[in-house]
Amino acid sequence: MNPFGKSMGFPPRVGPDGRMRWSEGEANVRESIAIILQTEEGERVQLAEFGAGLGRYLFEPNTPATHVRIAASIEDALRRWEPRIALDGVDVAPDRSDATAALATIAYRLVATGAGERTSVSIPLGRG
């Protein structure tokens, strides 16, 4: 039995056999993190509080103060919605390849195995 669960892949994918592809293992956890971070609060009708609400930072300046608020939003959302991970830290800094974005790097451990993982996401912002 897989300790991380199994669900439809995100984004949805079709395999060579024409069937929907499933996501499982560590990939399922990474996809879940991406879903949480890409979902705006209020976007899901039956679960209005779900998501990190990172879209609220779209026109904020790309400054350390904004980065601290983004990190707090990410930490709060992941602690609430993804019980399969233990956060080690969230670092948000200007995206070196895009002056209008910040790069959030999330370090976490898989609760079931203790294995350390890391993922990054670019967050669109205003100029700063």
pLDDT in tens, 35-71: 999 999 889 889 999 999 999 999 999 999 999 999 9
Overall residue count recorded for the chain in this entry: 128
- What domains are there in the chain, each with its CATH number? 6-124 (3.10.450.40)
Q: Provide the whole-model pTM.
A: 0.84
pLDDT-derived band at 6, boundaries 50, 70, 90: low
Retrieve residue 1's tokens. 């039995």
The distance of Cα 109 from the centroid of its chain, to the nearest Å, equals 14
How do residues 93-103 score in pLDDT, each as one tens digit?
Answer: 999 999 899 99
Interatomic CA distance for residues 103 and 96, integer angstroms: 8
Measured in Å, how far apart are the chain's first and last C-alpha atoms?
Answer: 48
CB atoms within 10 A of CB 11: 8
- Specify the residue for token string 């608020």: 69
